[in-house]
Amino acid sequence: MDNQTKFSNQERAGQGSPDQSKNSGDLSAVERRSLIAQMVMEKGKVLVTDLVDQFQITETSIRRDLIILESNGHLKRIHGGAISLSGNSRTDSFSEKIQLHISAKQRIGKAAAGLIKPHNVILFDSGTTTLQIVKQIPAELRLSTSITMVTNSVPISQEVLAWPSPNLIVLGGIYLPDYQATAGPQTLLQLQDLAADCVFLGADGLTLQGGVTTADILMAEVDRLMAERSRKAILVTDSSKLGRMGFVPVKPLSAFQMIITDTEAPAEIVDAIRAEGVEVMLV
């Protein structure tokens, strides 16, 4: 019996997943759509394949649910699933995000700055946490011959230009006001010609299954290539991002050698990340 027939029979017979408090097959279509809408609101994104497994019904039925939910204004359909209208159609602006979790970001920034060595070539993405790293780089590394810094971030560039004779490369491209950063084909072309010792990347979300994610396609392309052009990739993110899935995948966890986050990070997520062979520094 193929899966399509099996699921159709389960829908008629009222059979569902045993670990649901109410069997999935016993749910009415209205109840199921309500649960899907709640999942999208809480997680930011759902996949059709996951919904098929959870509710034990056909892909056709799930897609019909998503069409109805979209027409009622509960979500936006994307290829392979759906996203939250409020959570993923627009990310918070840089000026909004810079005020969030500031104490944790400062601690993360200080720990990350301590990893930078003389003569390193360092890539920095446009995150508010990476800005905290730059703010806390020791004075002896701010001399022009000490380190080379490459970034697409305007705030980071402004911070570094206040140093005495900094060795700074600013990537050009399309300016994105919400990120105060550049992205697009020109940015990627410049990155292709670079090789770095280390990259520090921020994130809008991090899950074990989805890896590191962000909210903007253009920014995801830049972050992805930054990781590929670096010998070591370090993720810097406060604990509020752990367990949250953003809109666009950047890299799987296996692409990172280290994650620096704060001590509020859920222990089960930290343990699972370490089990994948990624070093986690809690500060």
Segments making up each domain of the chain, as ranges: 3-88, 94-282
The topology under which CATH files domain 94-282 is Rossmann fold (3.40.50)
pLDDT of residue 176 exceeding 80, the answer is yes
Q: Look at residue 168 in the predicted model and tell me its pLDDT.
A: 96
The two beta strands, 181-183 and 174-176, are: antiparallel
Q: Look at residue 144 in the predicted model and tell me its pLDDT.
A: 73
CB-based burial of residue 139 (10 Å sphere; 0-12 exposed, 13-18 middle, 19+ buried)? exposed
pLDDT tens readout for residues 37-80: 878 877 788 999 999 999 999 999 999 999 998 887 778 899 89
Mean pLDDT of 136-140: 93
pLDDT of residue 8 exceeding 70, the answer is no
> Which of 113-117, 239-243, 277-281 shows the lowest per-residue confidence on average (mean pLDDT)?
239-243
pLDDT of residue 14 exceeding 60, the answer is no
Q: How far apart are CA 186 and CA 164, in angstroms?
A: 28
Q: How far apart are CA 131 and CA 109, in angstroms?
A: 8
The answer to whether domain 3-88 has CATH 3.40.50.2000 is no
pLDDT tens readout for residues 22-41: 455 568 888 788 789 878 87
Q: How far apart are CA 227 and CA 235, in angstroms?
A: 10
Q: Can you give the three-state secondary structure of the chain, one letter per residue?
A: CCHHHHHHHHHHHCCCCCCCCCCHHHCCHHHHHHHHHHHHHHHCEEEHHHHHHHHCCCHHHHHHHHHHHHHCCCCEEECCEEECHHHHCCCCCHHHHCCCCHHHHHHHHHHHHCCCCCCCEEEECCCHHHHHHHHCCCHHHCCCCCCEEEECEHHHHHHHHCCCCCCEEECCCEEECCCCEEECHHHHHHHHCCCECEEEECCCEEECCCEEEECCHHHHHHHHHHHHCECCEEEECCHHHECCCCCEEEECHHHCCEEEECCCCCHHHHHHHHHCCCEEEEC
Q: What percent of the chain has pLDDT over 90?
A: 63
94-282 and 3-88 share a CATH fold: no
